[in-house]
Amino acid sequence: MKPKKGKACSKEREFVYQFQAGSQCLELTVPLLFPVQENPDHLHSRLLLLHSLPCFIEDDLKKALKHFIEEETIKDYDTEAESALEAVQCAEGTVEKLADAWSEAYTKSTLEYARPEETSWDEDFADVYHDLIHSPASETLLNLEHNYFVSISELISERDVELKKLRERQGAEMNKVMQELGNSLTDQDVNLVAAQHFESQQVLENKWANELKQITSIQKQEYQEWVIKLHQDLKNPSNGALSDEIIVQPSQLRESVDSQGRIYEEQRQLEESFTIHLGAQLKTMHNLRLLRADVLDFCKHKRNHRSGVKLHRLQTALSLYSSSLCGLVLLVDNRINSYSGIKRDFATVCQECADFHFPQLQEQLEVVQQVVLYARAQRGRKWRLQQESTSRNGEDDKAKNSDRNQSNLLPGEFYITRHSNLSEIHVVFHLCVDDNVRSGNMTARDPAIMGLRNILKVCCTHDITTISVPLLLVHIMSEEMTIPWCLKRAELVFKCVKGFMMEMASWDGGVSRTVQFLVPQNISEEMFYQLSTMLPQIFRVSSTLTLTSKR
């Protein structure tokens, strides 16, 4: 039992040490407060320095001091133990309570005797789904998911048409107002019309958002209940008839959508694959792929398949609850939301199909935001404590730190979202980058590069065996990204990723992985093939050796 801290436990005792110096017999008396918090070696050194003691008593004094502290500490422990035993003997029923408490603690901390934890609903549903997706019922499951996907997609199409009509009507109204500006209307009238237009758009968007949220929740509940019932029917076929086979409903989506899907599919066909072996002594085989593709192509469902299961995600569904997950690195800004840029496009893709296994994207982002705020508060408290002992330089840093929004991310930091409703991806790493990624002077110590290293480490510890990485650390090419810029950036990322992959052997013991390097769709074919030539030179791709003999 630990002694309680307080005045009752603090006792002062005198340490007495006698020694001979020539013909004189000297005595050193030092008051010590027990329990002694200071290191005996440090205390011994201070005594020698403060009292100018001769060096020939140094070793003997150290032994005597340690012996005194150990002896008195043991006496205190014995006294406290005796007091505790007397209290137990005097009190009625305390022995039984203590025995019960010890027994409960032992059973909870010892796995052999501990009761098995009750599984949650999510765990039960995950087990049931894993069984069904690896059974003949998998096609039925995917057909049902596709039907839900079609209904949501058609609803989103209706929303887009209605929003487009509203914007066109408002645009025509605004043109008329601008023509009358300066004649019968003033700037205030124009601002009033613009405010009304904005309010109308907000009302319509909120109406569709609530409707989509409600339908998604209904679909998720219906899907989970149906999966549980189907699993019970397959286990006990005698209890009732098996669920009827679900047939894929024909999609009412426009043909233009299908043609766009075919265009994306054709553009993404530009790819190269390599096999490498990395490691010092025990080499591990890895697969590398270089692809020219839109990063969101790995998330979008393919709508252009005419027959069979239209969702191009059978392999994704089979490996959802496995040790072979697929991840994607998405480059985002420092704000945790889904309102702009590629984050908005990604949120739209996630919205097209309900997630039946994990929370919706917006719910996950809200949790991430709370975690970031808590982490920032903890770091800020620790930082302030450190700054209390610094000089004026710390005050300047404090002013800089206070200017930054504590709810935003720093470059190189990332957050993770889980998905079961994407085409080929289970986990998305949202990596925060700034304008420095467009610079031509990036080094291996850049926050974005270190963020990639941390992402690969998470992949090793969480069974993500396939990861897709933007090779140039950008999703869209711009004018300043010349051929020398692309070659220099690709060489940097290739070399850094190679080093990180060699580190993986110490992180996970050497597991074969697939790394996909993505380049933007608007990159030229010439540039793509130059990068394709560079990759095997850096990674030293394995090649077969053909031996010929002459007779």
Tell me how far apart the terminal alpha carbons of the chain are, to the nearest angstrom.
Answer: 87
Spatial CA neighbour of 344 closest among 358, 330, 326: 330
Beta bridge partners of 271: 291
- Please give the C-alpha separations between residue 510 and each of 193, 274, 463, in angstroms, as whole numbers: 64, 18, 12
Q: What angle, 0 to 180 degrees and rounded to 10, lies between the N-to-C axes of helices 121-133 and 187-235?
A: 70
Instruction: List pLDDT tens digits, range 395-407.
Output: 455 444 544 667 7
Q: Any long-range contacts for 114-117 (C-beta under 8 Å, 24+ apart)?
A: none
pLDDT of residue 399: 45
**What kind and span of H or E run contains 90?**
helix 58-90
User: β-strands 271-278, 284-292: how paired?
Assistant: antiparallel
How far, in Å, CA of 488 to CA of 495, rounded?
A: 11
Give the SS3 label for residue 14: strand
Q: Is 302 left (phi over 0), alpha (psi -120 to 50) or beta?
A: beta
Give the C-alpha separation, 67 to 168, whole Å. Answer: 91
SS3 74: helix
| Total number of residues shown for the chain | 551
Residue 515: helix, strand or coil by DSSP?
A: strand
Name 346's Cβ contacts closer than 8 Å, sequence gap at least 6. Answer: 296, 299, 330, 338, 361, 428
pLDDT < 50 regions, the chain: 1-8, 241-242, 252-264, 266, 305-311, 392, 394-395, 398-400, 402-403
Sequence-separated (6 or more) residues with CB below 8 Å from residue 399: none
DSSP letter (8 states) at residue 421: S
Q: Which residues contact 456 (CB under 8 A, 6 or more apart)?
A: 467, 497, 500, 501, 504
CA 117-118-122 angle, to 5 degrees, is 120
H-run or E-run covering 350: helix 341-351
Q: Which two tokens stand for residue 536?
A: 């095997």
The three state secondary structure string of 298-331 is HCCCCCCCCCCCCCCCHHHHHCCCCCCEEEEEEE
Handedness of CA 299, 291, 531, 527 (dihedral sign): negative
Give the strand pairing for 427-432 and 414-418: antiparallel
Provide the pLDDT for residue 41. 79
CA-to-CA dists, residue 242 to 84, 127, 137, 328, 460, angstroms: 66, 20, 11, 38, 41
DSSP 249-290: PPP---HHHHHHHHHHHHHTT-EEEEEEEE-SSS-EEEEEEE
262-276 residues labelled b (16+ CB within 10 A) or e (exposed): eebeeebebebebeb
**How far is Cα 105 from Cα 117, in angstroms, rounded to an integer?**
15
- Give me the pLDDT at residue 19, please: 81
Q: Note the pLDDT tens digit of each residue in 312-325.
A: 678 888 899 988 99
**Encoding tokens for residue 84?**
């505790």
Task: Describe the strand order of the beta sheet including 464-470 as a list of residue ranges.
Answer: 271-278, 284-292, 514-519, 464-470, 325-332, 427-432, 414-418
